[in-house]
Structure 1
Amino acid sequence: MRKRQGILIISDGLGDRPNKELNGLTPLEKANTPNLDKLVAEGICGNVYPISAGIRVGTDVGHLEIFGYDSNEVYPGRGPLEAISAGIEIDDGDIAFRGNFGTIDENNIVIDRRAGRIRKDTDLLANSLNGMILEDGTEVLVKELTDHRVAVVLRGEGLGKEIICTDPGTACEGEKLVKPIAIDENDVKSNKTAKNLLEFTMKANKILKNHPVNIKRIADGEEAANIILTRGVGQKKYMPKITEKFGIKAVCIAGDKTVYGIANLAGMEKYAEDDFTANFDTNIGKKAKKAVEYINKGYDWVVVHVKATDLAGHDNLPLKKVEVIEKIDKMVGYILNNVDKSKCYISFTADHSTPCEARDHTGDGVPTIIWGEDVRKDDVKVAGEKYFMNGSLNNLTATDIFMLQMDFMGFTKKRGA
């Protein structure tokens, strides 16, 4: 079967709901998107569910499904994925957490879950905690991730993962730091982990609030990153590489370390530059150029990730989300003008929906497009959630879209004779 190439553009958290500030339109419907409209008019589209209707997923599970995995089989918890993304080697028996540098007051009330979206010197904060030894001899590994994010690993004997962590949750500023406990009070191993996590959290708070980085932040009128809020507890789990399964050479272009980590586990190479960030200032135009360069180098599958749409959703910034989508549209335009339509497919999707008014992930379908010379066309002409209700990809899942891409490109195997 003939082989072709593919580019997948992931607009993190793109999906949205009708927004009052946008006169009842979603950010995608409001945005000026001539290039996405071209993909739609010349391709197939729909609102695709990451797993199934109404199931909310995190960035980690969303990307596992986008990369063709059944997350029920391979998902180890967000913590291990974050730790691997941070470069920590996970051992059997380790307990890993994803975390945020956050801000709490003297009464352990969470003031800001992201410490003002701190972006600088988080490596210095993490280093001050890395290698901490707890009372029972358990070691704590701490490594910074993108912006306010951080990975935490407990390494010791007899630890369990069935615990409630310390983070009160998205948009829960004003609530108290959660005291970690085992879900089952009779679970000895998980009780030990909960005790260790509480000890680490309190000791980290004492170290962080006196750290020179935070003293300077307070002097500059910024929130102190004086706590690590943990969630996503998990342990190591085997995950096969899709690059080996399908025999493809793939690369991920992104600015988010979590996405890189998942792509790396899937067998992809990664490409990063300093101005490829997981924020609004990421260099979207340069990402487009690198995608075309990798296609010209002969890579089979190039994944381009943009985080900023998700940030706008979490911060309830619909106009900002419109602005980001219009920048992504220009990226799509560059790619369209610089690839051979007879040899390369372009797909566009999201890992989940993050509606601005909800400020969190929802179980809505995500806008999805597949474009190429021989793709069957449907009758939709304009990009937007309400238009995609009439698309031919409706009610499919992220793994379905992955398999369609692999089949278009010629990397699937025929069943039967």
Structure 2
Amino acid sequence: MSEKKYIIVLGDGMADEPIEALSGMTPLAYADTPAMDRLSKLSEIGLVHTIPEGMKPGSDTANLSVLGYDPKLYYSGRSPLEALSIGVPMKDTDVAIRCNIVTISEENVPFEERTIIDHSSGEISTEDCAVLLKAVKAELQNETYQFYVGTSYRHCLIWNKGQVIDLSQPHDVLGQVIGEYLPHDEQLLYMMKRSHEILVNHPINIERKKNGLNPANCCWFWGAGTRPALSSFEEKNGLKGMMVSAVDLLKGIAVGAGMGVAQVEGANGGLHTNYEGKVQAALNALQNGYDFAYIHVEAPDEMGHQGSVEKKVQAIEYLDKRVIGPLVKSLDAEGTNYRLLVMPDHPTPIRVRTHTSDSVPYLLYDSASPKKESHNYNEKEAGESGNFVSQGHTIINKLLER
């Protein structure tokens, strides 16, 4: 085992563009981030390009990059990674498809003319969403199509002897009429339409509407792929790694790579997740035989998709004050020799409410040899630093000093 410890804190979708309402600053530059401000003066700051040319800017491809897996070699679709995390027994002939339960408009028009309002159904709880999925399964599940419960609004459909077909991501079409983004596959389209009929007047959704919450009223299929084959993280890097995330995608990458997966009560992928529990899980792992911890926080990305400037700033401030600050304080107090990489996986700009492929800022800190720098940690100053990593899957080499 390594004497030195290595940590990545990943603020999903944290990078953004200058916003007029923030005096022309990005949320990262505008947010009150004392921990990152202090570290930035002692760290290497730069930009890293995480999305390979020609690939979609997803959290799947981007997080594979950050963990050192070239998506061009290892990526086989997003949903199979999520399926791994929830223990779905995938055969080589299976195709996994992400099944979001989303909010679509309920005006009296044909299904194709409805609008997608919310890709997360108001960050619905796993418990409520499991009940809704059960109602869908009761009618639509058969030997060919099997549904599996995931986390919150994120679930999985396994298509036996299926096809990897192109499907639109729901967070890419927020506020738009859904017709041109629906599946061309007749059975998947039928199941989406039928799921809406099953869910629209479900007691849980009637109650949600009464309480001013978005109803979880339709299944949306996307992210089709086949069973992945990742090489072992430990064999690749000589380090025993732990994943700390609420998101099935990240847990699935970890399972595929043979990493440990921490279960953190109250970690839900939303703005009000259990930040403190995530820090403690990482510290526990590092104190108990693990050399590497990956702390993934989904909230900045979710707030970007929601188009909320205020909440995205708040998510970044929570990341700073409730994850990075306490983590560094604990490691320093224990006298741990460690290297810390802070970065987003991709931008999720408020302007477009979806992912882009732009390069993202990184902060690399070494407790044993802090630097003396003048740059702050934000997109603009990272670009001015002159440090640039053109291939995202090599950023881990900087962290691991090789």
TM-score of the alignment, normalized to the shorter chain, above 0.5:
yes
Q: Select the residue among 392, 397, 401 that pairs with 1:398.
A: 392
Q: Secondary structure at the match of 1:311?
A: helix
Partner of 2:222 in structure 1? 231
User: Where do 1:325-404 residues align within 5 Å?
Assistant: 325-330=316-321, 331-340=323-332, 343-374=337-368, 377=371, 379-391=373-385, 393-404=387-398
Partner of 2:257 in structure 1? 266
* Cα RMSD, aligned residues only: 2.6
Q: Is the 8 A contact 2:123 2:152 kept in 1?
A: yes
Partner of 1:185 in structure 2? none
- Distance in structure 2 (CA, Å) of the matches to 1:54 and 1:391: 27
Q: Select the residue among 273, 279, 291 that pairs with 1:282.
A: 273
Partner of 1:48 in structure 2? 48
- Distance in structure 1 (CA, Å) of the matches to 2:128 and 2:2: 49
1:205 aligns with 2:196: yes
User: Where do 1:91-130 residues align within 5 Å?
Assistant: 91-104=91-104, 105=106, 106=108, 107-108=110-111, 109-114=114-119, 115-119=121-125, 120-130=127-137
Structure 1 position 356, deviation (Å): 1.2
Q: Is the 8 A contact 1:54 1:362 kept in 2?
A: no
Partner of 1:176 in structure 2? 179
- Unpaired segments of 5 or more residues in structure 2? none
- Distance in structure 1 (CA, Å) of the matches to 2:28 and 2:84: 33
What is the identity percentage for the equivalent residue pairs of Structure 1 and Structure 2?
28
Give the total of aligned pairs: 392
One-letter amino acid matched to 2:178 = E
Q: Secondary structure at the match of 1:50?
A: coil
Given the superposition, is the C-alpha separation of residues 163 and 304 from structure 1 closer, same or farther in structure 2, using an over 3 Å criterion? Answer: closer
Q: Is the 8 A contact 2:171 2:305 kept in 1?
A: no
Given the superposition, is the C-alpha separation of residues 212 and 323 from structure 1 closer, same or farther in structure 2, using an over 3 Å criterion? Answer: closer
Q: Which string of whole-angstrom CA distances, capped at 9 and with x for unpartnered residues, describes residues 367-396 of structure 1?
A: 211111455737333221111123353244
1:140 aligns with 2:132: no
- Distance in structure 1 (CA, Å) of the matches to 2:372 and 2:329: 22
TM-score (norm 1): 0.85
Structure 1 position 225, deviation (Å): 2.2
Structure 1 position 292, deviation (Å): 2.4
- Unpaired segments of 5 or more residues in structure 1? 182-193, 413-417
Given the superposition, is the C-alpha separation of residues 261 and 284 from structure 1 closer, same or farther in structure 2, using an over 3 Å criterion? Answer: same
One-letter amino acid matched to 1:231 = W
Partner of 1:184 in structure 2? none
Q: Which string of whole-angstrom CA distances, capped at 9 and with x for unpartnered residues, describes residues 78-125 of structure 1?
A: 122222233211112212211211234352113424333322411112
1:244 aligns with 2:235: yes
Q: Is the 8 A contact 2:172 2:354 kept in 1?
A: no
- Distance in structure 2 (CA, Å) of the matches to 1:2 and 1:203: 53
Between structures 1 and 2, the one with greater helix share? 2
One-letter amino acid matched to 2:100 = N
Q: Secondary structure at the match of 2:136?
A: coil
- Distance in structure 2 (CA, Å) of the matches to 1:281 and 1:93: 39
Partner of 2:159 in structure 1? 154
- Distance in structure 2 (CA, Å) of the matches to 1:28 and 1:179: 35
Q: Secondary structure at the match of 1:273?
A: coil
1:292 aligns with 2:283: yes
